[in-house]
Amino acid sequence: MTDPTRNAGFTLLHAVLAKGRPLDAALDSLPRIEPRDKAAAHRLAACVLRHVGTLDAVLEPYLRRDPPPELRIILRMGAAAFLFLDTPAHAAVATSVELARARKLTPFAGLVNAVLRKVVATGPAALEELDMPRLDTPAWAWASWGKEARAIAEAHAHEAALDVSALPGFVPAGGIALPTGSYRFPAGTAVMEIPGFAEGKIWVQDAAAVLPAKLLAAQPGERVLDLCAAPGGKTAQLCAAGATVTAVERDKSRLATLRGNLERLHLAAETVLADATSWQPAAPFPAILLDAPCSATGTARRHPELLHIRKARDIDTVTALQDKLLDAAAAMLAPGGRLIYAVCSLQPQEGAARVEAACARLGLKRDPLSLPELPEAVTAQGDIRTHPGLWPAQGGMDGFFIARLVRA
């Protein structure tokens, strides 16, 4: 009988690598299996995706020709289970052979057995001479990250911790308080088990993701517009600060998620189902938060498939949308108002380049930001750029670009 974890792990990896599907979407589409097996399959698939280049380099000496894609997935899984997930050697080999047979690759079962036996015989020594950060990062991404590429890639090798935000006055027990105002729990922690979740006191939000709303500095009673607002973490921050929030989201299902999250947290905002590029408010807003759709490469620690399903050419598509959203946001901004532009991307084309173009095109002015709790994230232009290589001792953070623009 095929191990359910290996079978589900194969399904996830095939969905990502062969079909370009996001890992979470593939996970939601799995046939019903035990929660424990589902979690283990997700962990195995994520491990393979973090180390695709390294695993291929380990396997290469034992392959005379390029194996079929499905077979390569099985070999990667077996090697990853042994090298990175502490699976006993015999189990890593045996379950991979069983999986090959179950996936109608019986003629290759002997090859799987022979190759993985050589991998386990060599052991961790197979990794010693490899430049794993470079191998595990697509060339287009490495080149775009400049001098920070190695630190970012090294952080991507590890599963991210769980960060949560809390309503004012509530401190979740067991969490480590971070300078940005978040609370950190070990990787793999189930948020539902954290004290305060059931009572609507906390929500999941990376330490870097709290910064855009924090830097908007919404005041009690101030009218604030949150564009592209789902799933609602930043909306919750603004509401918790006492602002009068209008949250705009064009996707019906994502807006439903936002509304559900606010309801769970006992927070209230005006929610609007609309495309932010064409929606027009009754009156301009003094404060706007635009967390724009983007390549999301800054979240690759949490979504390791992103670097495999994204391509360099995809950036042009999202930058065109970002420009349209900035145009729309500028038109909604009151004289003297402030606009926070943010993307959870590491790509410079989506950050500083968009801001510079917007200032030239729209007559906006950059208003430099400061961040005393994280001064190394402040750029020479006064923007904020976080990346996974920051705070290595504390477990890093997601990559974000944040700028503040004002209408003169």
Catalytically active residues, by annotation? 344
Q: How many whole angstroms separate alpha carbon 331 and alpha carbon 87?
A: 57
Q: How many whole angstroms separate alpha carbon 391 and alpha carbon 394?
A: 5
Amino acid present at 60: E
- Locus of tokens 């399904």: 11
**Residues whose CB falls within 8 Å of the CB of residue 242, separated by 6 or more in sequence, listed in order:** 218, 219, 220, 221
Task: Report in angstroms the alpha-carbon separations of 84 from 90, 124, 212, 263, 395.
Answer: 15, 9, 35, 40, 18
Could you write out the DSSP letters of every residue in 138-182?
-HHHHHHTGGGHHHHHHHHTSPPPEEEEE-TT---TTPEEPTTS-
Q: Determine how β-strand 202-204 pairs with β-strand 333-343.
A: unpaired
Cβ–Cβ < 8 Å for 158, 301? yes
Amino acid present at 153: A
Omega before 231 cis (within 30°)?
yes
